[in-house]
Amino acid sequence: MNCQNAQSMVLNFINNKLDKEETKEFIEHIRSCKDCWEELEIYYVMLIGLKQLDEGEELAADFKEKLQNEVDSRYLEIEKNSKRKYAAKIVIVLTIAVMLIWMFVYLVFAMFL
């Protein structure tokens, strides 16, 4: 992902409108690109601050910390889901392998009876 792509995704990231793959690529880019991270911070502070004002909430002083926590949380969730899918695929493959072995043993045993 390049900076132009990442910067065009900032608002969708803040509003949680990116799919999992886009979110993962976006986060990986902003973690390695200071300029894009700063762009995200600016929009995040502005949008979340306005939202808090609209809702009559007191403005939070720890926007940067909240943003970092949000980014980390989303990335960890994506990674966790990826590992679950991988584990599920392994279980399916192993189940099929066991069934094939069982069928082979059964057929060989049946031939000798």
Taking the domains of the chain in order of start, what are their residue ranges? Answer: 3-87
pLDDT score, position 86: 77
Q: Dump pLDDT digits (tens) for 73-97.
A: 999 998 887 777 777 788 888 889 9
In angstroms, the CA 90 to CA 87 distance is 5
In this prediction the pTM is 0.66
Which pLDDT belongs to residue 10?
96
Phi and psi angles of residue 61, each rounded to the nearest 5 degrees, phi first:
-95, -10
Low-confidence ranges of the chain (pLDDT < 50): none
Residue 43 · residue 14 · CB < 8 Å: yes
